């Protein structure tokens, strides 16, 4: 999944004055008990106003992104230097206000909300201090790639069409600010490594080389406007969109393409390690805290990865014996990467198989989950313009994208694990469940924390074995390979960014320990190199959920109910990993009862 956490996306100006809330946080409580039932304290009210007002404003400033909140269609954020400085000041003021909070006056629910909210603010502050906005791209995502995602949305009203056209007309100024920021990043050596940027101008070039404005992806929503818009007005809107693309978008893209090819790509840094960036050691540790939500050292993470790879290799050896393969693991991996029986012949065959797997889960879901989301998801191919550099699949609310580019790199034996991760019970289930949980504040429903979201999705892959989703030894090996792939990330990410590994060394580690195809090995390693720390979130998040489950099983004994455990974890929204521990402590105290079902008799 995912990608670019919503918490790092860009904001513009101050909506409320955090300083003004300090007195309310520190003031006397006029209630008989600070946690009186159904009676919010003054501290509760002040915290809720501060967090809700800030988040509602923050939400209006977010550009499109995989993990962005809903309801922000056709938005171009202010990314200028002045806006960045205002953001930093605002969040620092907010953090200062939070320090005056008397936590004894908060309700139990708001104590948890405070922990989640403070982690978000701390992450936003760190991103501003390290000036992440000067590097608005990595090997498989970019500000222009996110922006063109609007073209895949439908226009439902005349007002939406007008806002979309206004967005198109605003692209030149937005791109100019992004380029100005990137130039400063370039001057101080704060760029992705040069090797990870090869060919990453393809999406820009495809816009520049379009035969006409109506062939540009941005025009797609205007090809079929809703019948509720009068025909003459629809025709006028289409003409306005075409003119905006011709007169604004295309010149902006030409300028961007020239900047990338003449300045940015040639001047990008040659080194790979995050430690080689300005204040690199502190920067990498900040990324570990952001993506893992724990303060772990690179050394500890690296060793965890080595230990887990050794454990998974034992299971892989067992599968090799089961299928009676004669040879060692490298020979077996070569066999899996090259035998035609393991690969779809057509893109539609791959999509059909993914759909079959998703429906197979539907038949088992009731035995493992007490509550399912109302929102369904579509299964679609990854768009052609980004597919060559994209991962094998991504999922989220309403969508499971399957990469049908380069079919010999998309093994069927891994498709069960991929589908469980990206669709249900992974991202396309977890994220809608969070969004539909109206008992949570919006800043917990909408935002995405990688350690939780990716940890849950990877746990979903492993859960598939319990659910009987893996029907053949090949499927089991595909799951184990995917587990080893994520465990390898702990070794590779820290190896590259803290211990001086080369790109070739990182690629070889994946070749030796996973069944990934060569194309995916190259694209994945470039992703880790260009996006320090994010790859650590998956396996460390999964290990945390597994440990929490084991603790609940041991404490509850026969009262442990797996549905109740899953519902308890999923009702949280997206939270730092320690919050999962707090919720499972409560599950244990309550005798194993889940939030949505009578799992255990009183």
Domain range annotation of the chain? 6-130, 143-270, 283-539
As given in the structure block, the two tokens for residue 62 are: 């977010």
pTM of this prediction? 0.86
Q: In what order do the strands lie in the sheet with 399-402?
A: 378-381, 399-402, 393-396
**Residue 454, Cα to own-chain centre: how many angstroms?**
7
Are the C-beta atoms of residues 478 and 514 closer than 8 Å to each other? no
Q: Is the pLDDT of residue 331 over 50?
A: yes
Q: How many CB atoms lie within 10 A of CB 414?
A: 27
Q: What is the DSSP letter of 353?
A: H
For helices 537-556 and 473-499, give the axis angle rounded to 10 degrees.
120
- What proportion of the chain, given as a percentage, has pLDDT over 90? 79
Q: pLDDT at position 13, please?
A: 26
Q: Are 494 and 249 in contact (CB under 8 A)?
A: no
Helices (H), 210-279: 231-244, 250-259, 265-267
Give residue-wise pLDDT tens across range 273-325.
999 999 999 999 999 999 999 999 999 999 999 999 999 999 999 999 999 99
Q: What is the pLDDT of residues 19-75, one digit of tens each?
A: 333 333 333 333 333 444 568 899 999 999 999 999 988 876 665 554 454 445 688
Residue 77's pLDDT band, with cuts at 50, 70 and 90, is confident
Tell me if 230 sits within 8 A of 172, measured CB to CB: no
Which tens digit of pLDDT belongs to each residue from 386-424? 888 788 899 988 899 999 999 998 999 999 999 999 999
pLDDT exceeds cutoff 80 at 5: no
pLDDT tens readout for residues 510-520: 999 998 889 88
**pLDDT reported for residue 544:** 98
**Per-residue model confidence as pLDDT tens digits over 440-495:** 998 998 888 999 999 999 999 999 999 999 999 999 999 999 999 999 999 999 99
Q: Name the percent of the chain lying above pLDDT 70.
A: 90
Nearest CA-CA partner of 563 in 467, 443, 458: 467
User: In a 3-state reduction of DSSP, which class is residue 73?
Assistant: coil
> Which residues fall within 8 angstroms of residue 159, CB to CB, at 6 or more apart?
none
For the segment 208-234, the average pLDDT, to the nearest whole number, is 95
Residues 33 and 204: their CA atoms lie apart, in Å, by: 60
What pLDDT, on a 0 to 100 scale, did the predictor assign at position 30? 35
| Separation CA 152–CA 168 (nearest Å) | 14
Summarize the confidence of residues 63-89 as an average pLDDT: 75
Q: Which residues contact 350 (CB under 8 A, 6 or more apart)?
A: 344, 402, 404, 407, 410, 412, 415
Contacts of 284 (CB under 8 A, 6+ apart): 274, 275, 298, 497, 498, 532, 533
Q: Rounded to an integer, what distance in angstroms lies between the CA atom of residue 533 and that of residue 494? A: 8
User: What's CA 342's distance to the chain center, in Å?
Assistant: 29
Residue ranges of alpha helices (H) inside 514-572 are 518-530, 537-556, 562-570
* pLDDT at 10 > cutoff 70: no
Packed helices 427-436 and 450-467: angle between N→C axes, nearest 10 degrees = 120
| Whole-angstrom distance, CA of residue 394 vs CA of residue 3 | 9
Answer whether the bond into residue 425 is a cis peptide, omega within 30°.
yes
pLDDT tens-digit readout, 115-136: 999 999 999 999 999 999 999 9
Do 201 and 257 touch, CB atoms closer than 8 A? Answer: yes
> With 80 as the cut, is the pLDDT of residue 222 above it?
yes
Answer yes or no: are the C-beta atoms of 128 and 88 closer than 8 Å: yes
Beta carbons within 8 Å of 11's beta carbon, 6+ residues apart? 57, 58, 61, 62, 77, 83, 87, 90, 124
Contacts of the segment 505-514: beta carbons below 8 A, 24+ positions apart: 510/485, 511/333, 512/329, 512/330, 513/309, 513/312, 513/313, 513/484, 513/485, 513/488, 514/333, 514/481, 514/482, 514/484, 514/485, 514/488
Does residue 367 sit in helix, strand or coil? helix
Q: Which residue has the higher pLDDT, 64 or 246?
A: 246
Indicate the average pLDDT of the chain. 89
Structure tokens at 105: 């006056």
- CB-based contacts of 529, cutoff 8 Å, min separation 6: 139, 192, 193, 195, 196, 272, 496, 503, 506
* Residue 411 DSSP label: B
List, for residues 555-570, the tens digit of each pLDDT value: 999 999 999 999 999 9
């Amino acid at each position: 999944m995912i990608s670019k956490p919503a918490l790092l996306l860009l904001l513009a100006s101050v909506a409320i004055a955090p300083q003004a809330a300090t007195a309310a946080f520190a003031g006397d409580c006029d209630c008989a008990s600070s946690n009186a039932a159904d009676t919010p304290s003054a501290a509760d009210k002040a915290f809720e106003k501060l967090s809700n007002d800030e988040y509602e404003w923050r939400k209006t400033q977010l550009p499109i992104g995989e993990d962005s909140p809903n309801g922000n269609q056709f938005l171009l954020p202010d990314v200028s230097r002045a806006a960045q400085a205002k953001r930093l000041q605002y969040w620092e003021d907010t953090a200062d206000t939070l320090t005056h909070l008397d936590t004894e006056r908060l309700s139990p629910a708001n104590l948890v909300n405070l922990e989640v909210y403070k982690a978000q603010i701390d992450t936003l502050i760190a991103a501003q201090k390290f000036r992440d906005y000067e590097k608005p791209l990595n090997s498989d995502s970019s500000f222009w790639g996110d922006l063109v995602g609007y073209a895949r949305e439908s226009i439902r009203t005349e007002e939406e069409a007008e806002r979309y056209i206004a967005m198109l007309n605003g692209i030149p100024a937005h791109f100019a600010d992004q380029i100005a920021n990137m130039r400063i990043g370039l001057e101080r050596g704060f760029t992705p490594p040069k090797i990870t940027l090869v060919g990453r101008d393809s999406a820009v070039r495809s816009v520049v080389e379009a035969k006409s404005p109506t062939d540009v992806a941005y025009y797609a929503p205007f090809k079929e406007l809703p019948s509720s818009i009068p025909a003459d007005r629809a025709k006028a809107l289409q003409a306005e969109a075409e003119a905006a693309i011709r007169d604004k978008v295309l010149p902006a893209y030409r300028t961007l393409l020239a900047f990338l090819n003449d300045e940015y790509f040639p001047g990008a840094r040659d080194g790979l390690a995050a430690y080689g960036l300005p204040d690199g050691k502190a920067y990498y540790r900040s990324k570990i805290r952001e993506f893992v939500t724990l303060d772990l050292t690179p050394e500890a993470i690296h060793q965890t990865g080595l230990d887990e790879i050794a454990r998974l290799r034992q299971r892989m050896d067992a599968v090799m014996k089961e299928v009676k393969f004669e040879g060692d693991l490298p020979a077996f991996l070569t066999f899996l990467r090259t035998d035609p029986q393991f690969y779809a012949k057509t893109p539609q065959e791959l999509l059909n198989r993914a759909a079959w797997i998703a429906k197979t889960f539907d038949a088992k879901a009731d035995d493992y989950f007490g509550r399912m989301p109302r929102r369904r998801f579509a299964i679609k191919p990854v768009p052609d313009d980004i597919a060559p550099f994209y991962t094998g699949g991504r999922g989220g609310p309403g969508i499971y994208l399957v990469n049908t580019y380069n079919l010999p790199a998309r093994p069927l034996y891994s498709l069960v694990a991929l589908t469980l991760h990206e669709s249900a019970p992974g991202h396309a289930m977890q994220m809608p469940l969070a969004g539909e949980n109206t008992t949570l504040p919006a800043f917990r429903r909408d935002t995405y924390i990688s350690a939780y979201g990716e940890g849950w999705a990877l746990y979903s892959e492993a859960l598939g074995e319990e659910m009987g989703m893996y029907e053949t030894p090949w499927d089991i090996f595909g799951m184990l390979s995917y587990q080893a792939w994520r465990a390898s990330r702990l070794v590779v990410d820290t190896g590259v960014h803290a211990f001086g590994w080369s790109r070739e060394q990182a690629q070889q580690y994946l070749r030796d320990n996973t069944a990934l195809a060569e194309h995916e090995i190259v694209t994945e390693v470039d992703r880790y190199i260009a996006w320090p720390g994010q790859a650590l979130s998956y396996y460390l998040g999964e290990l945390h959920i597994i440990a929490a489950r084991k603790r609940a099983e041991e404490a509850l004994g026969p009262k442990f109910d797996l549905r109740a455990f899953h519902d308890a974890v999923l009702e949280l929204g997206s939270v730092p990993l320690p919050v999962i521990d707090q919720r499972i402590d409560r599950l244990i105290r309550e005798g194993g009862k889940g939030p949505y079902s009578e799992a255990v008799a009183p």
